[in-house]
Amino acid sequence: LNDFKIQRKRLPDAILIGAKKSGTRALLTFISTHPNVSAADSEIHFFDKYYHLGLDWYKSQMPYSNDNQIVIEKTPKYLVDPKVPQRVFQMNKNIKLIVILRNPVTRAISEFVQSQHRQKRNINNVNEQSKRFVRMLYESKNQNFTIRKNWNIIKNGLYVNHIKNWMEYFPLESFVFINGDNLIQNPHDELEKLQKFLGLKPIIKKENFVLTNQKKGFPCIRLDSQNEEVKCLSDQKGRQHPKIPDNVIKQLQDFYRPYNNELFELIKQEPFWTV
Ligand SMILES: Nc1ncnc2c1ncn2[C@@H]1O[C@H](COP(=O)(O)OS(=O)(=O)O)[C@@H](OP(=O)(O)O)[C@H]1O
């Protein structure tokens, strides 16, 4: 009888707001194996795109949940769209905000690779991809080549600017910051942090994660400790990245360094990656 729980739809208790290409899908997939979590499968894009449809529409997009579950949705665009924080605040000023951040240099390459796939460009030729990335990265000003700051792929990684917009409305305690690089290396650490933040029993543990041949180098999650059923991410995740020349990587790292330093100071945490 205890298993019979009334299911209904309601607005989310927590939103995974980004960053794009930082492991948002992996994090949502892993946390949704928790019995006390009900997560929306697709990206809802309510606060950035469908806001005019109103909160009833938003609610209708939510997954069914019972009283023992918290409801989560993820839309990575929310982090970078300046309209969104105020809208979220108006809905619920106590909402929990989940942010996952990955080294912005890797993140930029990941987003670039995705954009190439979407345009069906050079998808089997990483050398061409590398050249194209470098061509698109720079702009020339007064015969000087500098990083094109207004390229979305670069701008999306200026995390501190985006977080500042959110902090106009929400205090630091509203956020949890998950390390997207460590989610690949030590997923259990990051899941422990997230379960704690969400007030969930810490039942997703180290034993739940496995490396399989199915998803080379990326962890999958065991759905049930009693059996062998394992969930990995789709082929769209964990794509091969082009090798970008070392000097370009170094310039990108130098470019992001002051923003990264400011970010970790703002969120009062040790750097997630070598800045
Ligand atoms: N366990 C596991 N399996 C597969 N992939 C994993 C995993 N953990 C993190 N990642 C990394 O997630 C990157 C995609 O990030 P997102 O899911 O946030 O992308 S998106 O913004 O929703 O498009 C994806 O980026 P790419 O490697 O460029 O494909 C992965 O590096």
Which residue puts its alpha carbon closest to atom 11 of ligand 1? 23
**Is 24 part of any known ligand binding site?**
yes
Assess: ipTM above 0.95. yes
Beta strands, E only, the chain: 14-18, 37-39, 70-74, 96-101, 138-141, 144-147, 175-179, 209-211, 219-222, 230-231
- The contacts of residue 33 (CB under 8 Å, 6+ apart) are 204, 208, 221, 223, 231
Q: Is 118 annotated as a binding residue?
A: no
pLDDT at residue number 165: 98
What global pTM score does this model have?
0.96
Please list the pLDDT of the chain residue by residue as tens digits (275 residues): 455 678 899 999 999 999 999 999 999 999 999 999 999 999 999 999 999 999 999 999 999 999 999 999 999 999 999 999 999 999 999 999 999 999 999 999 999 999 999 998 888 888 999 999 999 999 998 888 899 999 999 999 999 999 999 999 999 999 999 999 999 999 999 999 999 999 999 999 999 999 987 777 899 999 876 767 899 999 899 999 999 999 999 999 999 999 999 999 999 999 999 97
Chain centre to alpha carbon of residue 197: 16
CA dist list (Å): 65 to 32, 38, 175: 12, 6, 23
H/E segment holding residue 136: helix 126-137
Q: Burial level of 99, CB count in 10 A (0-12/13-18/19+)?
A: buried
27 CA distance to ligand 1 centroid (A)?
9
Ligand 1 pocket mutation, candidates 28, 118, 162, 237, criterion most atoms within 8 A of CB = 237
State CA 173 to chain mean position distance. 19
CB atoms within 10 A of CB 233: 18
Residue nearest to atom 30 of ligand 1 (CA): 238
Q: Which two tokens stand for residue 189?
A: 């650490």
Q: Give the pLDDT score at 123.
A: 82
| Ligand 1 first shell, C-beta below 6 A | 20-26, 76, 110, 113, 183-184, 215, 218-219, 233, 237-239
21 catalytic? Reply is yes
Strand partners, 140: 145
Task: Provide the pLDDT for residue 3.
Answer: 55
The pLDDT score that the predictor gives to residue 122 is 81
Q: What is the pLDDT of residue 2?
A: 52
Q: Per the structure block, which two tokens stand in for 80?
A: 């970078």
